Amino acid sequence: MQTIDDLIAGPGVAGKRVFVRADLNVPMSDGLITDDGRIRAVLPTIVKLVEADAKVIVASHLGRPKGEPDPKFSLLQAAERLAELLGKPVAFAQDTVGPAAHDAVNGLEPGQVAVIENLRFNAGETSKDDAERGEFADQLAALADLYVGDGFGAVHRKHASVYDLPARLPHAVGLLIGTEVGVLKRLTEDVERPYVVVLGGAKVSDKLAVIDNLLGKADRILVGGGMMFTFLAAQGHQVGTSLLQEDQIAVVKEYLARAEREGVEFVLPVDARVSATFPDLKTKAPVDDVEVVGVDAMPAGKMGLDVGPKTEELFAAKLADARTVFWNGPMGVFEHPAFADGTSAVAKGLLDSDAFTVVGGGDSAAAVRLLGFDETKFGHISTGGGASLEYLEGKTLPGLAALEK
């Protein structure tokens, strides 16, 4: 893949309109950004282009609008935060390919930046129809001279700005995607062992494909979060009112049997923090009935919302000798203080190990920041949970394939 450095050194970018497909899909609450990690992650690429006197057009999606403008999914807040981080004004266009976008781009001087509105406000961005997607890509291409792909969180999507647009412009990968791919190669091609994978999150179905692929690669797989209860049920445990995907129990049983045959150690929780009700994540109101129980003694009327302290100790021990760790998914409802200890313990376990540690994006990355850990102490914090998982599943990612051509 051609890199941004190749682009700058080769045809050059000075005075040229460079379309940067970023991932500004930041979490929002009441109209405010709650985690700007993805904006900061693309900043080095934007700064490099600005310093090379490019006219920088930043584009992204945010949320899941249904192919038409929706104010609650506007990129205005992201554009304003980008301006703060850059320390210079950033123009904002209130449409994607209409008059406002063209005016904003035409008004750029070398070294200036504009953000166009949410790409998913146009149905062509996510269309499954090649012609409709291609038409939108043509309209985007009219805004620019060059393309830089740096939205790693979207490269597993066959969308117009990710897959179709690079074919229409000279293109290169940005610094973020270059880093992300380099890290994923370290997890798949020449892994330093022991290689430990920590998986959490709500649904086991979201992780089945990656488990399937990792069974031939990882030495040890630790499972927590809501998905752990399907594993526990597969072992014959009662799980109370905990999240359970009964239709996946048979599949999980087969994975556990296969892991045993292939010598992969599956490590499941031995205890859990439970409550009769799901906590209020907005008010963070105290939960009065939290108790710690063994996984073989789950109360019928309570749900597991975090792994327990004995599991924290177990997982820490299983991480201690690791040389490579990939972590995707929290161990519990980390957004509430009563159920954050398990996720915090895993983060600390990564930091205490001598391993190359990769936090696989999504909720795991948000948890690291919310719980106050120094993110620079981890080997890498990915900006794309879904993209990372699909790469580890062995899938071809459309956005990367487009940049390789």
- Are 314 and 265 contacting, i.e. CB atoms less than 8 angstroms apart? no
258 is a catalytic site residue: no
pLDDT, residue 31, reads: 86
Marked catalytic residue, from 153, 362, 384, 385: 362
Q: What is the pLDDT of residues 207-238, one digit of tens each?
A: 898 899 899 899 999 999 999 999 999 999 99
Marked catalytic residue, from 40, 168, 186, 203: 203
Give backbone dihedrals phi and psi of 222, rounded to 5 degrees, phi first.
Answer: -100, 135
pLDDT, residue 183, reads: 93
**62 annotated binding-site participant:** yes
**40 annotated binding-site participant:** no
Domains of the chain listed by start with CATH number? 4-176 (3.40.50.1260), 183-382 (3.40.50.1260)
**156 annotated binding-site participant:** no
372 is a catalytic site residue: no
pLDDT, residue 386, reads: 87
Alpha-helix runs per DSSP H in 142-268 = 175-188, 208-214, 228-234, 249-262
pLDDT, residue 402, reads: 97
Residue position matching structure tokens 């302290």: 309
**29 annotated binding-site participant:** no
pLDDT, residue 298, reads: 96
**23 annotated binding-site participant:** yes
**24 annotated binding-site participant:** yes
Marked catalytic residue, from 200, 225, 384, 386: 386
E-assigned strands of 232-332? 265-267, 271-275, 291-294, 303-307, 324-328
Residues lower than pLDDT 70 in the chain: none
- Are 279 and 333 contacting, i.e. CB atoms less than 8 angstroms apart? yes
**111 annotated binding-site participant:** no
284 is a catalytic site residue: no
**193 annotated binding-site participant:** no
pLDDT, residue 110, reads: 98
**384 annotated binding-site participant:** no
pTM of the complete model: 0.89
**273 annotated binding-site participant:** no
Q: Tell me the sheet residues that pair with 292.
A: 273
pLDDT, residue 35, reads: 87
- Are 290 and 273 contacting, i.e. CB atoms less than 8 angstroms apart? yes
Assigned token pair, 38: 């993805």
pLDDT, residue 307, reads: 98
pLDDT, residue 53, reads: 98
- Are 45 and 176 contacting, i.e. CB atoms less than 8 angstroms apart? yes
User: According to the 3-state scheme, what is the secondary structure of 93-155?
Assistant: ECCCCCHHHHHHHHCCCCCCEEEECCHHHCCCCCCCCHHHHHHHHHHHHCCCCEEEECCHHHC
**335 annotated binding-site participant:** yes
Angle, CA of 399, 35 and 183, to the nearest 5°: 40
Marked catalytic residue, from 16, 17, 21, 38: 38
pLDDT, residue 345, reads: 97
Any idea what DSSP says for residue 253? Answer: H
Q: Residue type for 146, please?
A: L
Query: What span, in angstroms and rounded, lies between the C-alpha atoms of 233 and 253?
Result: 9
386 is a catalytic site residue: yes
Query: What span, in angstroms and rounded, lies between the C-alpha atoms of 77 and 88?
Result: 15
**157 annotated binding-site participant:** yes
Q: Tell me the sheet residues that pair with 199.
A: 223, 328
pLDDT, residue 284, reads: 94
